[in-house]
Chain A
């Protein structure tokens, strides 16, 4: 049952027409964004999310984050909604239910695409059973990225959707000056030794914490002084109060000793 793949088979989205927003609706929508002075009702449409987005939306509306204090309320029917929130990469089976939910919401409505999958299809963007994001089938007004977005990002996204926050663009450009160079970290430590230390630290404690610990250790190595290196390393490890970090520092000391020997 072999199928030969042609160019038209591997398409970006389906052959159906994407819905366009009529001009009068665009005008009403901008008025809504500008003049909104009331609560906004949100209806969620899960188009094939993994539930991480759904649970973070839940977290946003429950007591700790409490989006309802801004008048943002999740409602049970698209017919009550001002804002439609689409999560998930839009699976094949959910295309029609998603379109029906969109049709059911009264105009003017704001469409929010939520989470990495909704925004772009995410890790699933080109799979056979998804359409690759909300904006492949519907006009999207606001994107809330993240995998999943944190509740803080969610509340911020709602606020953007409501026009409560102006989009502050802080563009900054760095132009490389004449002779400007990136400084080499720890130039006095031989390159190979530095690699050994960093690699061991990451093996012991992972990328983030291992990197921090290696940096601390290398700074210590670089400090000038007359005390012999092995003594300095053992004093340094002994001064550490966290026993796990001390264990790792001792291991790094061994690496240096082995490398020198």
Chain B
């Protein structure tokens, strides 16, 4: 489909890695194409797919960012898989490994046994495209509801109208939860509905007395079918507003990731002023999100005064967002090629004033929080994310930075207006809840100074370019560093003024698979705290099933009770 390009030149970052890969696996790579100077797509033989991904992952400092399936039968007769790796070694670039899956077999060799980070992506491709990952041990559904008909795969181009609603077949959940514990177990269910502000999810903890032996969870209670509607009902610019609604906390990051993917695919030169404005808004979003998480951290250790104080101060960031965008949430400010609103002198001045106030107030609150004696007792050494486990599963954001890995998309793959910004990457080596919280605190203050820097150096010129045309079947990655870590989108343009395929991977998606390891070995009362520490667009926990491995008994504890126990740590619900 893509003509082989000329010999790689020096301006292309990643070409040395690709040369080394070709040397190691001489016959694997069939084709090489470049979307941007830092983004290459290699088409490889299907049988060599796991080896290629594993080589890039383990030998060249690759991290698996996203895997996108695509139904390309109308283009070349096959399905295609795109494993996007963020290369963070000597050459910082994105290398996308593409393999075609024949429509006749609908099978591909699973990458998960070599690179565990691929597990959710491969389960999702099986749900949405009906492609079977051969060798993937986990055969459960990921995205689709339990009562969704077998053999109906929403993202196949010929499978169904996007409005098709199969009849409900059963009201029971049939999801099988996994437990690696040896022997009999007791179950604590958490979810899917609960008090604070949380989205639905169902947890199951397997315990021995008070200690968590293993945990499993069922997510995607809120699967709505956004990727399908983007490909059928909407045009390119409409999807920027849909992307705003992927997540209510960090929606603007998704919107920027999506527009960047289209701009990269079509080679659109976005005006520098628009890019600077995007960065200012992304940092504004980070301010409110980190204050939210710090507030929740207070709440879960039973320090509700701190919780209310953080939320009081957080309103200043909402005022800032409203002044800059016209709305407190869902900014709706992006178009392909730029933004819809400028930052004029008046807003510039008001932004600086609010930033001054925020810096002062949050400094005071953080001092108060860290001086609270029961904080350290509750969060230090709790919810350890082993750096080795983190390396296997490619988590992102403060979750991975709290375990010593220096990963930040803003620095590794500068996008939007971050090119000339001086900013540190904050890492912690405690690997625990405390470490992740402190990373967020430092990032909050960094965001303040990033906004100041960008405003001071913002270039003039227009905020929007319309000097481009859409070309069919162009594709590229777009990426941002959302408050919870890297958001990454893979888009392919279609021939009918609509997307052919849009794959959107939110940061929390990359962080869930490691949560199981973070919960193991902790006590039941720390579970809500640990879940909140990955900031999963809120602790998606409501009903915990606790399974006692020795007593062979099962207790179902309402989330309210779990949360109370987390905060007070008396009167265990298990006794």
User: Which A positions have Cβ atoms within 8 angstroms of B?
Assistant: 1-3, 5, 9-11, 13-16, 44-46, 48-59, 62-64, 74-77, 88-89, 91-97, 101, 122-124, 126-131, 147-148, 150, 202-210, 241-245, 247
15 inter-chain pairs at a CB distance below 8 angstroms, sorted by A residue, are A5-B164, A44-B197, A46-B199, A48-B223, A52-B251, A74-B195, A91-B222, A94-B200, A123-B241, A123-B245, A124-B225, A128-B163, A147-B330, A206-B341, A244-B342
CA distance A124 to B224 in the complex (A): 7
Instruction: Point out the residues of chain A lying under 8 angstroms from B328, CB to CB.
Output: 56, 59, 148, 150
| Bound Cα distance A203, B338 (Å) | 9
Would you give the shortest CB distance from A38 to chain B, in whole angstroms?
Answer: 21
Q: Is the CB of B164 within 8 A of A208?
A: no
Residues of B contacting A122 with CB < 8 Å? 245
In the bound complex, do residue B222 and residue A55 qualify as a contact, i.e. CB atoms below 8 Å apart?
no
Query: 1/0 per position for B209-236, CB-CB distance to A under 8 A?
Result: 0000000000011111110110001000
A205–B315 touching, CB < 8 Å: no
Contact (Cβ within 8 A) A245 B248: no
- Given known pairs A58-B197, A241-B345, the reply for A127 and B225 (CB within 8 Å) is yes
A247 to B345, CA, bound (A): 11
Main DSSP-derived SS at the B contact region? loop
Q: Does B246 count as interface, using CB distance less than 8 angstroms? A: yes
Alpha-carbon separation in the docked complex, A12 to B466 (Å):
38
Choose from B171, B200, B329 the contact partner of A52 (Cβ within 8 Å).
B329
| B95 interfacial contact with A, CB 8 Å | no
Residue numbers in A under 8 Å from B247 (CB-CB):
50-52
Q: Is the CB of A55 within 8 A of B344?
A: no
Contact B164 A51 (CB under 8 A): no
B162 at the interface (CB under 8 A from A): yes
On chain B, the residues within 8 Å of A210 by CB distance are: 342
CB-based contact B344/A209 at 8 Å: yes
B112-165, CB < 8 A from A: 130, 144-148, 151-154, 156, 158-165
Given A48-B224, A127-B224, is A55 in contact with B329 using a C-beta cutoff of 8 Å?
Answer: yes
Check A245 against B344 for contact (C-beta < 8 Å).
Answer: yes
A241: chain B residues within 8 A (beta carbon): 345
> Given the known A-B contacts A127-B225, A128-B165, A207-B341, are A92 and B148 also in contact in the complex, defined by CB atoms under 8 Å?
yes
Which B residues have a C-beta under 8 Å from some C-beta of A?
130, 144-148, 151-154, 156, 158-168, 171, 192-200, 220-226, 228-229, 233, 241-242, 245-249, 251, 292, 308-309, 311-312, 314-315, 318, 326, 328-330, 339-346, 348, 460-464, 466, 537-538, 558-560, 563
Chain A residue contacts of B315, Cβ below 8 A:
59, 62, 64
Q: Contact at A129–B311, with CB atoms within 8 Å?
A: no
- Distance between A83 CB and nearest chain B CB, rounded to angstroms: 15
Residues on the B chain within 8 Å of A206, using CB: 339-342, 463-464
Q: Do A242 and B224 have beta carbons less than 8 Å apart?
A: no
Contact partner, A50, options B194, B221, B248, B309, Cβ 8 Å: B248
Which 7 residue pairs across A and B have the least CB separation, nearest first? A52-B248, A242-B345, A62-B311, A51-B248, A205-B342, A76-B195, A76-B560
Please give the distance in Å from B565's CB to the nearest CB on chain A. Answer: 13
- B160: contacting residue among A63, A94, A128, CB under 8 A: A128
Which chain B residue lies CB-closest to A100? B193
Bound together, the chains give a CA A2 to CA B220 distance in angstroms of 25
Q: Are A63 and B312 in contact (CB under 8 A)?
A: yes
Q: Which residue of B lies closest to A45 (CB)?
A: B193
List B contacts of A94 (CB < 8 A). 192, 200, 221-222
Question: Given that A5-B161, A14-B165 are known contacts, is A93 also in contact with B220, CB under 8 Å in the complex?
Answer: yes
**How far is A86 from B504 in the complex, measured between Cα atoms in Å?**
26
Kindly name the residue among B241, B247, B328, B346 whose own CB sees the greatest number of chain A CB atoms within 10 A. Answer: B328
Q: Are B222 and A49 in contact (CB under 8 A)?
A: yes
Set of chain A residues within 8 Å of B195, measured between Cβ atoms: 44, 74-77
Distance of A39 Cα from B63 Cα, bound (Å): 52
Question: Complex formed: what's the CA distance from A130 to B220 in Å?
Answer: 12
Determine which of A52, A88, A97, A127 lies in contact with B249 in the assembled complex, contact meaning CB atoms within 8 Å: A52
- List A contacts of B343 (CB < 8 A): 244
Other A-B contacts than A128-B164, A209-B344, 4 sampled, CB-CB below 8 A, are: A63-B312, A92-B147, A127-B228, A148-B248
Minimum CB distance partner of B158 in chain A? A2
Cβ contact within 8 Å between A128 and B154:
yes
Cβ of A88 and Cβ of B160 under 8 Å apart?
Answer: no
Task: Give chain A residues whose Cβ lies under 8 Å from the Cβ of B194.
Answer: 76
Residues of B within 8 A of A11 (CB): 165
Complex alpha-carbon distance, A175 and B165, angstroms: 45
Known: A9-B164, A76-B560, A205-B342. A62 touches B312 (CB 8 A): yes
* A10 engages B164 (CB within 8 Å): yes
Q: Is the CB of A14 within 8 A of B225?
A: no
Given A77-B558, A206-B342, A207-B340, residue A3 in contact with residue B152 (CB < 8 A): yes
B248 proximity list for chain A (CB < 8 A): 49-55, 148
Q: How far is the CA of A72 from the CA of B15 in the complex (A)?
A: 61
Interface hub of B315, B348, B466 (most chain A Cβ within 10 A): B315
- Residue of A whose beta carbon sits closest to that of B295: A62
CB <8 Å contact, A54 and B198: yes
When the two chains form their complex, are residues A3 and B164 in contact, meaning their CB atoms are under 8 A apart?
A: yes
A212 → chain B closest CB, angstroms: 9
Asked if residues A97 and B167 are in contact (CB atoms below 8 Å), the reply is: no
B197 contacts A129, C-beta separation under 8 Å: no
Q: How distant is A202 from chain B, measured CB to nearest CB, in Å?
A: 8
Q: Pick from B146, B245, B341, B460 the residue with the most CB of A within 10 Å.
A: B245
Q: Which residues of A contact B151 (CB under 8 A)?
A: 1
A93 and B145 contact, Cβ closer than 8 Å, known pairs A55-B197, A128-B225: yes
CB of A93 within 8 A of CB of B330, answer: no
Which chain B residues border A50 with CB–CB below 8 Å? Answer: 222, 245-248, 251
Residue numbers in B under 8 Å from A205 (CB-CB): 341-342, 344, 463
In the complex, the answer to whether B537 meets A2 with C-beta atoms within 8 Å is no
The reply to whether B224 and A245 form a contact with Cβ atoms under 8 Å apart is: no
Report Cα–Cα, A92/B225, bound state, in Å: 11
A88 to B538, CA, bound (A): 16
